[in-house]
Amino acid sequence: MAEGEPDALAAAYDRHIRAVYGLAMRVLQDQGDAEDVVQEVFSQAWTQAKQYDATRGSVVSWLLTITRSRAIDRLRSRRARPDSAPASGEVAVVELPDSALGAENEVLTAESAARLRSALSALPLLERVAIELAYFEGLTQTQVAERLEQPIGTVKTRIRTGLLTLREALNS
Amino acid sequence: MSDTQHGQFDALAALYAMGALGEDERDAFETHLEVCVECVNEVKSLLPVTHGLTHGALPLEAPAALRARVLGEVTGVTPSPREAPAAALLDTRFGALEGSETFAHVVEPPRRGAGLLFWLTATLLVAAAGGGGWYVSELDRQTQGLRANMDAAMQLAKRAELELESVRSAAAEREAVLAIVTGSDVGQLELTGQPLAPRASARALWNAAADMVVLATGLPPLPAGDVYQLWFVLPDAPVSATLVKPGPRGDATVMLKVPDAVTLPTVMALTIEPAGGVDAPTGDVYLLGQPAE
């Protein structure tokens, strides 16, 4: 794909479209918007293919990171009224902080992905909701607290406790 | 970095790894990261989780037309068709053979028309054998016709009876709902739609006798084999309230008796679960209601 070979992009599309489309639908809940995001994701992957570093993670992780970012961007523009300023506390989509720390992404195996999904389902309801709002809607802790009508300290604790549980499940 | 200063940031590593800090908080935390190895290690240990969550969404089949649109517009080249998976290839090669005319005659199913022709011929032969036989046969045919009409009439009557019962039941339910909603001792909790059902909402109302009615609207259609399940989310563990099956327009009205173990108001949630319900919630949350603090 980095060589500008259309067949390579087609192969990547065929291999990863279900994961990319599933994540776009998970965030946006709208088929038209999800299809537009898929288009943006593969367009970005095509133009930035030379920047992809295989040592930092798998292709699918790279595509999914772009998908989350583009989908949340679109979700926010859909939420914002055309004649209004961004909502209070709204910030640009926060890229997950791997590059800043020089941390290498671990390649997630199918088994560990399934273990993570299962652990997420098993979290106490309110921890799961807080994590999903932050992660799949790109809300900050303040916005999650507003959405759930809970004190910010409670939300902070729930997200942290939930993440630590997930980390334990992933490492087990 | 003193312990006191680290303590201010200790809880933020998880939120930073999630990308859930506001801009100012993030800037402050990143400044702290430059001098705090402990927090750097904590964030690093959480990154596999947050990156792994992108795999947390269920993979879905995209519309077939999307492939040509995306690949065509991105590369400017008409894409070659998707290679058929091995199973599809086998179907293509051998499925057609099974359905071909070459084999169609080998195992031919019996034709209904052929059987009818046989019996008609037999009946004619019997009729030709004597007029009395024909008369008996005709009487039998008429009797069977009358019996079929009577069965149809009975079915209509039964259906009308069921519809009447349904109307009576709906009227009784409406009265019971009204009794709760208009009572002087009514408590209520609003449930709001979550990301999977942003247009959904519900209101739970209850009286001192622990009768509760939940009025929901805008619920998305259920996938086959699934059901909505309503929960009282108690501090120890969620307690199932009832199963909820919305109508075709996504509306639902359910009545239930609040269990003794539940003290209202409490957090309530609606999740999607396998048919028949489950003992503890496992599916996505569609509605969530929290009492005012």
Least confident of A103-117, B12-26, B88-102: B88-102
Which CATH number fits the domain A108-172, given the four candidates 3.10.20.340, 1.10.10.10, 3.90.1150.10, 1.20.1740.10?
1.10.10.10
Query: Which pLDDT belongs to residue B61?
Result: 86
Report yes or no on B267 lying in a domain. yes
Contacts of A31 (CB under 8 A, 6+ apart): A25, B63
In this structure, the answer to whether residues B166 and B249 fall within a common structural domain is no
Are residues B242 and B164 located together in one domain of the fold?
no
**Min CA distance, A155 vs chain B (Å)?**
10
Is the pLDDT confidence value at A83 over 80? no
**Within a domain: B92:** no
Say which residue, A53 or A40, is predicted with more confidence. Answer: A40
- A1 touching B (Cβ < 8 Å): no
Residue B126 has which token pair? 């019997």
Distance of residue B31 Cα from the nearest chain A Cα, in angstroms = 12
Least confident range of A15-19, A118-122, B160-164 = B160-164
- The model's pLDDT over B98-118, given as tens digits with 9 standing for 90+, comes to 333 322 333 333 344 444 444
The answer to whether B136 touches B125, Cβ cutoff 8 Å, is no
Domain contains B149 = yes
Strands B238-244 and B226-233: antiparallel
A121 and chain B: CB distance < 8 Å anywhere? Answer: yes
Of A93, A101, A105, the CB nearest to B51: A105
For chain A, the helix, strand and coil percentages under 3-state DSSP, each to the nearest 5: 70, 0, 30
Domain count, chain B: 3
Residue B101 within a domain: no
Pair (B222, B165) in one structural domain:
no
Domain boundary at B29, B53, B77, which?
A: B53
Whole domain around residue B205: which residue ranges?
Answer: 187-289
Query: Phi and psi dihedrals of B204, rounded to 5?
Result: -105, 130
- ipTM (interface predicted TM): 0.81
In B182-244, which ranges are continuous DSSP H helix?
none
Question: Has residue A90 got a pLDDT over 50?
Answer: no
Contact B268, B289 (CB under 8 A): yes
Establish if B76 belongs to a structural domain: no
DSSP character at residue B219? P
pLDDT, residue B126, reads 45
User: Measured between alpha carbons, how far is B45 from B152 in angstroms, rounded to an integer?
Assistant: 71
Q: Is B48 in contact with A106 (Cβ distance < 8 A)?
A: yes
Least confident range from A58-72, B37-51, B89-103: namely: B89-103
Weakest mean pLDDT among A59-73, B71-85, B100-114, B139-153:
B100-114
Instruction: Confirm whether B30 is domain-assigned.
Output: yes
Residue B10 lies in a domain: yes
CATH code of the domain containing B243: 2.60.40
Task: Give residue limits of the domains in chain A.
Answer: 1-107, 108-172
Q: Could you tell me if A52 lies within 8 Å of chain B, comparing CB atoms?
A: no
CA distance B275 to chain A (A): 17
pLDDT for the residue A121: 79
Q: Examine the domain organization and report whether B194 and B275 are in the same domain.
A: yes
Taking CA atoms, B193 is separated from A145, A148, B105, B160, B210, in Å, by: 15, 11, 59, 38, 25
Which CA distances in Å does A36 have to A42, A136, B62, B74, B151?
A: 10, 17, 12, 12, 57
Going by CATH, does the domain composed of A1-107 fall within 1.10.1740.10?
Answer: yes
- CATH of residue B11's domain is 1.10.10
Instruction: Indicate if the pLDDT at residue A101 is higher than 50.
Output: no
